[in-house]
Amino acid sequence: MAIDWNSYDTAALWDELIAANGRARPGAGPLRRMLAGLSDDDLEARRAAAEATIRTMGITFTVYSEEAGRGIDREWPFDIIPRLIRRSEWDTIAEGLKQRVKALNRFIDDVYHEQRALKDGVIPAEFVLKSKEFRPQCQGIDPPHGVWSHICGSDLVRDSDGQMYVLEDNLRVPSGVSYMLENREVMKRVMPELFENYSVHPVDNYADQLSKTLHSLSSERQPRVAVLTPGIYNSAYFEHAYLAQAIAAHLVEGSDLIVRSDKCVYMKTVDGLVKVDVIYRRIDDLFLDPETFNPDSVLGVPGLMKAWQAGNVALANAPGCGVADDKVIYTYVPDLVRYYLGEEPLLPNVPSYRCINKEELEYVVAHLDELVVKPANESGGYGMLIGPKATARERNEFRKQILANPRNYMAQPMLSLSTAPTLIDQHAEPRHLDLRPFILSGKDSYVTTGGLTRVAMRKGSIVVNSSQGGGSKDTWIVDDS
Amino acid sequence: MTASTLSSTARRAYWLGRYLERAEATANLMKTYGTLLYDLPQRLPDAWETLISILALQKPFAKAFDEPSERNVCRFLLNDPANPASLLANVEAARENARTLQGVIPRIGYEYINELSLLCNDRLRGVLSRSRRTETLPELMESAQKIHGFLAANMLRDDPWRFYRIGVLLERADMTSRFMDMAACAGFSDLAEQEAFADLRWRSVLRACSAQLSYRRSTAEPISQATVLDFLLNNRDLPSSLRYCLEEIDDVLKALSRHQQPRRSLAAIRRLLRETDLAALDEAGASALLDACQFELRVIGDQLERSYFNPASAGLRRLSRRG
């Protein structure tokens, strides 16, 4: 019968809404009561309403289908129970994120200039210079404000002791922010009563902030901004189209742009060629410019790198910023914060083992059944080993890979990710989740109010990626009182 | 700052208009033609094949089906995966274009297009019986009209609107001419019988163009081939007449740069219509005239492609001044 909080079992985990004694955590009381007051029919009606709204609004993500031989659209999965974070906690997290991204941007700028941190031994030079994401073409370039990663999405997880950790920083082309915005929109449509009892901090100033950030990269008074997408079959196409309209930018594909002999970028319009000043690119470095990188790329724009190097167009994010996105380099971020900013990190890293160090490597291969092992340059949860859940054979296979190329791996203890009540067949069950806030850096910096909460819909699973069956929740930053 | 419109955006807005209009017109054609056939003698063997030839889909149809039965033709035109011009395919193409136009279509308009697509995917499954068609086709038309209405009421009157509008009007002109084909070649082999049903056929054409009432209000003449042709080709005030569509396209083009070529072609079709003596045409003559119109309309489509949509076109070498 509906949601019965007495039978909600948080086990030994940290639940975001319900404490171990079954009571609501501070701030979650009205939400807990309101949900308990809904009948099975009410819950089902709202779940169905959310689904219908998402379908009508066209909120989709694209996954590759073997059967269709191309990407197909799936409706964005959404859980109607929001996740709450108190304002006081959020403010600290936001400060920590700004600090972190500031240090990371200093690091990238340093890597492509004097390489002080490498010379001072803060981080081994070979890690950086041999990284797949290090781009010699970026050396000596000075992007505006010294910022390389203008839009960063950092993944946060909470362990069973309630501590938030940074799991990784996505500095290249992070996606998800449009779903954060749309989740709020859907929430307002299907659970309007909830907002009566809460003052939820709005999320929708993100578009203005993104626009401001991108504008600050050009000296033009009213710069022309374009969002560069690989096209309609890309998994994040929905987001590209969404953001372009939200910031009143042109949504372009590589074939819409041309670089002329003046090393400026133009877009092809019905009135002729029009100069573009800022490009928010959602294409990986290696596909940006067939003249510089992958010559087979049809997604990019020939000559784009030259235009960027000449300072005639701003690229957000700047090419080469992935050098700081490497999961092995991640393990050095707290050191980078201390080195560049002279401050103690406000947000901790998940403790990590670097397989490049002999003792740590030995520990890792001996304890694979306890660890999560990640390759340096993969995203979306691909190519990693979740030791405790893997078979002995998978672990053996992975051990060989690690020993063959220790530089390419790092390992972390398996965290007990926090949970939140999630609607499963008209009752609430705990499901693991993470949080991806977005950090903007240009002339100023900005952190989203909350972020995108992703939730693993399968019981016990910690895989939150939507491409692998993950769902999402609206994330509420609420006042403490 | 004037917002320049990407060539690719212009092309998509244009195709959005065309696909939406074609979807609605296809539904309308099937609905009207079905009703007409119920009134005609049972023994017309190729009655349903006419729909295929009106829409110039003989080749893909022959590949997919042996026999132009009611069942096969309806399946083919509504939702057959082998037909890239089926109603469902048109709606899906409209939706795909709309997805890329989220920056220029108001959000609610985009939601309405999604609704139409969801409705089509829900209703157009398998083979549709006569009664299911009777129920479904008006529902789909209504959904399509809602989109046109919303966009007409709310879209900013800038370039994307203009191209969307040109797409709608060009498609409408084309479909009106095909509706007339429906009467001119309804599959009769017996000449006397053909004569006997002439009025009925031409009245159906008016109905397909939602123009019965307008016809009565504009002309006192009884229904005949010549009067209906004249009405649907040359009436100044009827929104589905060729003349109306062409004049309005011309008006829209005036607001765009580089419009000389397509405007010259428009003038040529209008001259052809003006100079043809409709009263002197037999059914074959009417059919030939309509074919000529359809050909010229295609030429205009090609010119739009060259002037505005094709990134490789010569016109693009010209630099636009910063607004």
- pLDDT digits over B235-288, tens only? 999 999 999 999 999 999 999 988 999 999 999 999 999 999 999 988 889 989
Any CB–CB contact under 8 A between B108 and chain A? Answer: no
Q: Which residues of B touch A275 (CB under 8 A)?
A: 322
Q: Do A268 and B316 touch (CB under 8 A)?
A: yes
Q: Which ipTM did the prediction report?
A: 0.80
> B191: pLDDT confidence band, cut at 50, 70 and 90?
low
- pLDDT number for residue A157: 96
Amino acid at position A313, single letter:
V
SS3 A65: strand
Q: Do A272 and B316 touch (CB under 8 A)?
A: yes
Q: Which residues of A touch B100 (CB under 8 A)?
A: 232, 241, 251
Please check whether residue A319 is in contact with residue A284, taking contact to mean a CB–CB distance below 8 angstroms. no
**pLDDT of B44 over the 80 cut:** no
Residue A134 neighbours by CB distance under 10 Å = 17
Return the residue of A nearest to B109 by Cα.
A57
Any CB–CB contact under 8 A between B314 and chain A? Answer: no
Q: Which residues of B touch A222 (CB under 8 A)?
A: 1
Q: Do B320 and A272 touch (CB under 8 A)?
A: yes
- pLDDT number for residue B317: 41
Rg (CA), chain B: 20
- pLDDT number for residue A394: 92
- pLDDT number for residue B186: 54
Residue pLDDT tens, chain A, 481 long = 588 998 899 888 999 999 988 899 999 999 999 999 999 999 999 999 999 999 998 888 878 777 777 777 888 999 999 999 999 999 999 999 999 999 999 999 999 999 999 999 999 998 899 888 999 999 999 999 999 999 999 999 999 989 999 999 999 999 999 999 999 999 999 999 889 889 899 999 999 999 999 999 999 999 999 999 999 888 889 999 999 999 999 999 999 999 999 999 999 999 889 999 999 999 999 999 999 998 888 889 999 999 999 999 999 999 999 999 888 889 999 999 999 999 999 999 999 998 888 899 999 999 999 999 988 776 656 788 988 889 999 999 999 999 998 888 899 998 889 999 999 988 899 999 999 999 999 999 999 999 999 999 999 888 888 777 889 999 999 998 7
- pLDDT number for residue A378: 66
Q: Which of B5, B110, B118 sits opposite A270 (nearest CB)?
A: B5
- Give the pair of three-digit tokens for residue A216: 């600050």
Q: Which residues of A touch B96 (CB under 8 A)?
A: 232
Q: Which residues of A touch B115 (CB under 8 A)?
A: 56
Q: Which of A241, A255, A271 sits opposite B311 (nearest CB)?
A: A255
Q: Which residues of A touch B109 (CB under 8 A)?
A: none
- pLDDT number for residue B12: 95
The chain A residues in contact with chain B (CB within 8 A) are: 55-58, 222, 232, 237-238, 241-242, 244-245, 248-253, 255-256, 258, 266-275
Question: What SS3 string covers chain B?
Answer: CCCCCEHHHHHHHHHHHHHHHHHHHHHHHHHHHHHHHHHCCCCCCCCCHHHHHHCCCHHHHHHHCCCCCHHHHHHHHHHCCCCCCCHHHHHHHHHHHHHCCCCCCCHHHHHHHHHHHHHHHHHCCCCCCHHHHHHHHHHHHHHHHHHHHHHHHHCCCCHHHHHHHHHHHHHHHHHHHHHHHHHHCCCCCCHHHHHHCHHHHHHHHHHHCCCHHHHHHHCCCCCCHHHHHHHHHHCCCCCCCHHHHHHHHHHHHHCCCCCHHHHHHHHHHHHHHHHCCHHHCCHHHHHHHHHHHHHHHHHHHHHHHHHHHCCCCHHHHCECCCC
- pLDDT number for residue A2: 80
For chain B, how far is it from start to end, CA to CA, in angstroms?
5
Q: Do B7 and A269 touch (CB under 8 A)?
A: yes
- pLDDT number for residue B18: 97
Q: Do B317 and A273 touch (CB under 8 A)?
A: yes
**pLDDT of B315 over the 50 cut:** no
Q: Which residues of B touch A280 (CB under 8 A)?
A: none
- pLDDT number for residue B323: 30
Gap from B176 CA to chain A (nearest CA, Å)? 29
Any CB–CB contact under 8 A between B121 and chain A? Answer: no
Q: Which residues of A touch B104 (CB under 8 A)?
A: 245
**pLDDT of B314 over the 70 cut:** no
The pLDDT tens digits for B121-165 are 999 988 889 999 999 999 999 999 999 999 999 999 999 999 999
Any CB–CB contact under 8 A between B82 and chain A? Answer: no
Gap from A189 CA to chain B (nearest CA, Å)? 14
**pLDDT of B183 over the 60 cut:** yes
Q: Within the 210-269 window of chain B, which residues sit less than 8 Å (CB to CB) from chain A?
A: 256-257
Q: Are strands A265-269 and A445-447 parallel, antiparallel or unpaired?
A: unpaired
> B318: pLDDT confidence band, cut at 50, 70 and 90?
very low
- pLDDT number for residue B319: 43
Q: Which of B3, B96, B103 sits opposite A251 (nearest CB)?
A: B103
What is the rounded average pLDDT for all residues in chain B?
Answer: 88
**b/e per residue, B91-101, with b = 16+ CB within 10 A?**
bbbbbbbbbbb
Gap from B154 CA to chain A (nearest CA, Å)? 16
d(CA A279, CA A273): 16
> B313: pLDDT confidence band, cut at 50, 70 and 90?
very low
Tell me the count of A-B CB pairs closer than 8 A. 91
Q: Do A273 and B319 touch (CB under 8 A)?
A: yes
- pLDDT number for residue A19: 93
Q: Do B322 and A274 touch (CB under 8 A)?
A: yes
Gap from A408 CA to chain B (nearest CA, Å)? 39
> B321: pLDDT confidence band, cut at 50, 70 and 90?
very low
Gap from A236 CA to chain B (nearest CA, Å)? 13
Any CB–CB contact under 8 A between B316 and chain A? Answer: yes
- pLDDT number for residue B320: 43
